[in-house]
Chain A
Amino acid sequence: MFPELSFNIDHGYLEGLVRGFKSGILRQSDYLNLVQCETLEDLKLHLQSTDYGNFLANEPSPLSVSVIDDKLREKLVIEFQHLRNHCLEPLATFLDYMTYGYMIDNIILLITGTLHQRPISELISKCHPLGSFEQMEAIHIASTPAELYNAVLVDTPLAPYFIDCILEQDLDEMNIEIIRNTLYKAYLEDFFNFCKGMGGGTAEVMCEALAFEADRRAFIITINSFGTELSKEDREKLYPRCGKLYPDGLEMLSQCEDYDQVRTVADYYAEYKELFDDAGTNPGDKTLEDKFFEHEVKLMKNSFMHQFQFGVFYAYVKLKEQEIRNIIWIAECVAQRHRAKIDSYIPVF
């Protein structure tokens, strides 16, 4: 009757934990200190005074950005695995859903890599550990989508999403992108329905977040498809149909032919209008991608305002990813002595 009443019995500990993790997310003052760093060693020294603690203590100097990236990611993965290992249903399914997105990315990465004749071991190290699965490494035996499905993906949770892609004939660059987006579309819609089915605060928060994710994809697909051979009909098939743009906005998007038309579509939606208005390509302006990230951060921060719901877990991982992107951005700027753009990170708190 009131799921909130019994929420804490099963998930209270983990919610508390994740809220604790959240308070360790770097703040504006930390970033201000980070951008002052002269070398990566300075960066390491400052990160030591934050929640990251001694995560780099056992790395021999000189540090490289990729080591920092690995360690940052490793920390997130450890935290996520800890949550996943301690959770009960339905949170377990929810957390599993969160990993499917990484699985899709990994599959696409591997297929693209094998197309370019890269050795599988080199590709595996680039995969996101949250999205790894057992059959992943054998992916390069497949040369057609049907094979991919029958041999590899049929045992993974992604199998139902893949059904729409089997028709494709060959694995080339274009088709891989189409597969990625089709998979993502099916995944987002499934996740959306799952969250909606959960009801309560989870539905409220997660539907908002996933709707934004779906709309962002729709915009990006449209913008990226200009100048390619993707037909309008095919493009329309790739739009995830769970966002706020559905159905009218998607209809209009599918007819767009240049950036300004996309912008006109966004004008019908208050929150997206704002993003498109502020974005620009001039130096000093924020790119549309950054604006999307900023909006995402805002949404994710809001989800911590709700109690007794799973959105916090999703939000935490997303915020943490943003933080990792920020640190890496700063680290790259520091390492390459290219300080002009060091300030274009997206502060979380």
Chain B
Amino acid sequence: MEGLLRSEEMTLCQMFLQSEAAYTCVSELGELGLVQFRDLNPDVNAFQRKFVNEIRRCEEMERKLRFLEKEVKKDGIPMLDTGDNPDAPAPREMVDLESTYEKLENEMKEVNANAEALKKNFLELTELKHILRKTQTFFEEAMHDPSMSDETMGLLGEELPRSGQPLRLGFVAGVILRERIPAFERMLWRACRGNVFLRQAEIESPLEDPVTGDQVYKSVFIIFFQGDQLKTRVKKICEGFRATLYPCPETQAERREMAIGVMTRIEDLNTVLAQTQDHRHRVLVAAAKNVKVWFIKVRKIKAIYHTLNMFNLDVTQKCLIAECWCPVADLDRIQQALRRGTERSGSSVPSILNRMSSKQIPPTYNRSSKFTQGFQNIVDAYGVANYREVNPAIFTTISFPFLFAVMFADMGHGMIMFFAALYIVLKEKQFGARRIEDEIFKTFFEGRYIILLMGAFSIYTGFMYNDIFSKSLNIFGSQWFAPAEPFSLATLSEFKKLQFNPNETYTGSPYPIGLDPVWQMAQNKIAFTNSMKMKLSVILGISHMFFGIALSLLNHRYFQKPLNIICDFIPSLVFLFCMFGFLVLRIFHKWVAYDSSMSQKAPSLLIGAINMFLFNYRDEHPDNPEVYHIPGSLQGFQCFLVVVAGLCVPWMMFFKPFYMRHQARFGQFKHQPLSVQSGDLLNHDHDFDNDQEVVHNNDTSGHLHQEEEQEEPFDFGEVFVHQAIHTIEFCLGCISHTASYLRLWALSLAHAQLSEVLWSMVLRIGFSSSGVGGAFMLVIVFMFWACLTVAVLVLMEGLSAFLHALRLHWVEFQSKFYSGTGYKFQPFCFDQILDHSADD
């Protein structure tokens, strides 16, 4: 019980590890994952620490592995994840690993360089092939285009006689990225003043860029121009736009010959390329088998050296000194791990684990199973508990799904939720192994047990409210009946609505469990359920808050603060009882003492509560015996309650600060903790070996100890203000929190109404028509209804109810006892380190 209620008892330990055994010991501790090391050299730069070279080597290895992984992924080779978890290799094996990776990387780089060169060659040849093919069509078009040839002829004809020599049009042909064509064309036009002629054609199939391996689309172009000056200029532009130019013979025969040559060379190249690829593939497949394991090994080594960097070196350089937090209960296991580590390293001198005492606040370590983990996360999200403070997670496992279910009360929706969660729970091993990265699924997966319980409790509350998809189940038979006397068939058929008098149409014994199904049909169903649900939520809320206050008693007793019991716990308990506990009693009284025959005389709870605080006991109708009168003795008691509640406020506000000032002045109780819920352990019995601790590490962590030794001077103003704020917060909180619990009713009402609307507006349409058409209609309408039910009612409403339940726990419940200002125990654990680095 104690283990679940409070976090583990922790202790600060000192470890003396032989230099040669330190590595293996830390490795064992990493596998164990129960020790949180403290950084003993916080002032030393990352690059000035002892093992920085080893870490650098690890990083270099990681880089090589990442490179290999990238190459493996590029080729789409599956990486074998056997899930085995090798121990961290010994330091001397690091050299082997390094050389292995080095070799692989170099081999890979060589293969890549070869492949790149080959691919570049291949690309050039393919481009040339395309050029030859496309230019062929350009030239052919030019031949067969009569208008064009006519024009050229005309032009040439004019010019020929004058110059006396044939006009030679030069041309260049090349390949360019398709998206650069427009700018290229424009630039050509501008730079050459329109004196060039550009033809271009797209290459349909994408080509592979040899450097990046991307598929790129390119176009073939051919530019005609006249004269050398233009030629240099065109070439410069081509260079500027990274177009590759290829020689293109002028006559058709030469072109054909060249094309044939190119084709054969491409074929040759293809075989060589295939062989290179094959080789690359073989290397990668071999590497892919081990990459994951290698990663684990390297990361473990790196983690170990990181940890070793936090250690202190002994004066003699023979051993390393570490300080760590560890749970007291696991000290034996840690000792064993150290022994194993020492044995493995072959060192003769054992490693020593020393418990130390410290005034520092230890970290909070709550052990949790896969079942409680989700609930613990809910609590931790608000704030990590102080060391040894009552941990509300264990109560949350039940109260959270229950409060959720009160708001989500519907058997049908609860079942959907329950079975969905059950599926995930039953398949959790498979799902867990698949490591799905999707964030939404992860959230659901991690909260699977919460959802399971929420579903189960919703079924229960739905059963109590007798609500299944907004309909009722008539299992035991309604306890209401319509006697034949006033409700003859004739009257029944004549009137649409009839009023039942509970005194005549009710059997007198209630429906065995839950709500009578007859209310489902009643016109005043909402009025009835509202009144009932409202009272229920007040009762649940007040008891939840009482429970919270009771837990604060456990805290005060554990931390031995009797003053807090007298000045905080008792007045707040009394205050809450006087204000609202009495209201709860009156609710029960009204339920039990009044039945339908006396409904006229039943007291109004709301007016009664208001009058109680106003001391207003005037009789409005002194002569009317039908109206409820508060009996005189109760009047006196109510006045007493209000006065007591009023007295609680100064009691809470003033008593403690003044008492503490008194103590401070007269010198007793020096060590009494000052703050209300600080939860520190100053007054425990570990003062005896403080000196020893300081001797061990006075050189590095001296400042920490100075911090510890400081004694807080008593500051009356601060304590008083703190206490005043606490009092005001609590008193106002009582009222606003009670009102806040009414959300249990409001959300339940909203949920019930929404599902009723969905039923009457959607599914009923499906039932309205008969025959074959009606059947089809029903199928379609049902589909709509089912989708809306899951999406809106289960998912959205579920989320909303979840958030409200979360709020009720964080704000209304935990504020009564939980300070949540601790810090979490973060053990040095390989599993976590590997998980995290796998995420990156």
Contacts and interface: CB of A to CB of B under 8 A. Distances in A.
Interface of A: 33, 36-38, 41-42, 45-46, 48-49, 57-61, 120, 134-141, 147, 150-152, 154-155
B180 A134 contact: yes
Nearest to B193: A150
Given A36-B48, A45-B47, A46-B45, A140 B240 contact: yes
Nearest to B60: A61
Interface string B24-51: 0000000000000000000001111000
B236 A141 contact: yes
B833 to A, nearest CB: 16
A321 to B, nearest CB: 26
A38 B56 CA distance: 14
A269 B272 CA distance: 73
Nearest to B56: A41
A36 B45 contact: yes
Contacts of A141: 191, 233, 236-237, 240
B47 A42 contact: yes
Interface string B47-75: 11000100110011011001100000000
A48 B306 CA distance: 14
B162 interface: no
A147 B190 CA distance: 9
A123 to B, nearest CB: 11
A33 B45 contact: yes
Contacts, number: 66
B183 interface: yes
Contact of A137 (B47, B52, B55, B241): B241
Nearest to B66: A58
8 contacts: A41-B56, A45-B46, A46-B46, A57-B59, A136-B240, A137-B241, A138-B236, A140-B236
Contact of B241 (A58, A138, A151): A138
Please indicate which of the listed interface residues B47, B56, B63, B242 has the most CB atoms of chain A within 10 Å of its own CB: B47
Nearest to B64: A60
A58 B105 CA distance: 13
Interface in B232-255: 233, 236-237, 239-242
B63 A120 contact: no
A117 to B, nearest CB: 13
A61 B53 CA distance: 13
Given A36-B48, A49-B46, A150-B190, A138 B67 contact: no
Contact of A152 (B48, B67, B187): B187
A61 B102 CA distance: 13
B186 interface: yes
B565 to A, nearest CB: 46
B60 A139 contact: no
Given A58-B67, A61-B60, A134-B180, A151 B187 contact: yes
Given A137-B240, A155-B183, 17 more contacts: A38-B47, A41-B47, A41-B56, A45-B55, A46-B46, A57-B59, A58-B67, A59-B63, A134-B183, A135-B187, A137-B242, A138-B239, A138-B241, A140-B240, A141-B191, A141-B237, A151-B191
Contacts of B46: 45-46, 48-49
A60 to B, nearest CB: 7
| Among A45, A120, A140: residue with most chain B CB under 10 A | A45
8 nearest A-B pairs in the assembled complex, by CB-CB distance: A138-B240, A42-B47, A137-B240, A151-B191, A141-B236, A45-B47, A151-B190, A134-B183
Contacts of A61: 60
A346 to B, nearest CB: 22
A240 B237 CA distance: 34
B187 A138 contact: yes
Contacts of B183: 134-135, 155
Interface-central residue, A134, A136, A152, A155, by most chain B CB under 10 Å = A134
A346 B273 CA distance: 53
B187 A57 contact: no
Nearest to A48: B46
Interface of B: 45-48, 52, 55-56, 59-60, 62-63, 66-67, 180, 183, 186-187, 190-191, 233, 236-237, 239-242
A287 B180 CA distance: 45
Contacts of A38: 47
Given A36-B45, A135-B187, A154-B190, A57 B240 contact: no
A57 B47 contact: no
Q: Main SS of chain B's interface residues?
A: helix
Contacts of A134: 180, 183
Contacts of B191: 138, 141, 147, 150-151
Contacts of A37: 47
Contacts of B242: 137
A37 B55 CA distance: 16
A171 to B, nearest CB: 15
A138 B237 contact: yes
Contacts of A155: 183, 186
Contact of A57 (B63, B233, B237, B241): B63
Nearest to A42: B47
Contacts of A46: 45-47
Among B46, B55, B180, find the residue whose CB has the most chain A CB atoms closer than 10 A. B46
A96 B187 CA distance: 23
A31 to B, nearest CB: 13
A223 B56 CA distance: 48
A154 B190 CA distance: 10
Nearest to A150: B190
A340 B56 CA distance: 28
Contacts of B63: 57-60
Nearest to B62: A57
B657 to A, nearest CB: 41
Contacts of B236: 138, 140-141
Contacts of A57: 59, 62-63, 66
Nearest to A114: B236
B239 A120 contact: yes
Contacts of A151: 187, 190-191
Contacts of A137: 239-242
Nearest to A36: B45
A166 to B, nearest CB: 14
A154 B241 CA distance: 17
A33 B47 CA distance: 9
Nearest to B45: A33
Contacts of A139: 240
Contacts of A135: 183, 187, 240
A132 to B, nearest CB: 13
A60 B67 CA distance: 10
A137 B239 CA distance: 8
Contacts of A136: 240
A48 B55 CA distance: 13
Contacts of B239: 120, 137-138
Contacts of A41: 47, 56
A273 B183 CA distance: 49
A61 B242 CA distance: 32
Contacts of A150: 190-191
Q: Which of B186, B191, B240 has the most CB of A within 10 A?
A: B240
Contacts of B60: 60-61
Contacts of B56: 41, 45
B305 to A, nearest CB: 13
Contacts of B240: 120, 135-141
A36 B44 CA distance: 11
Nearest to B192: A151
Q: Which residue, of A33, A46, A141, has the highest number of chain B Cβ atoms within 10 A?
A: A141
B585 to A, nearest CB: 52
Contacts of B187: 135, 138, 151-152
A135 B188 CA distance: 11
A48 B240 CA distance: 38
Nearest to A33: B45
A59 B59 CA distance: 11
A75 B465 CA distance: 60
A203 B240 CA distance: 39
A139 B48 CA distance: 49
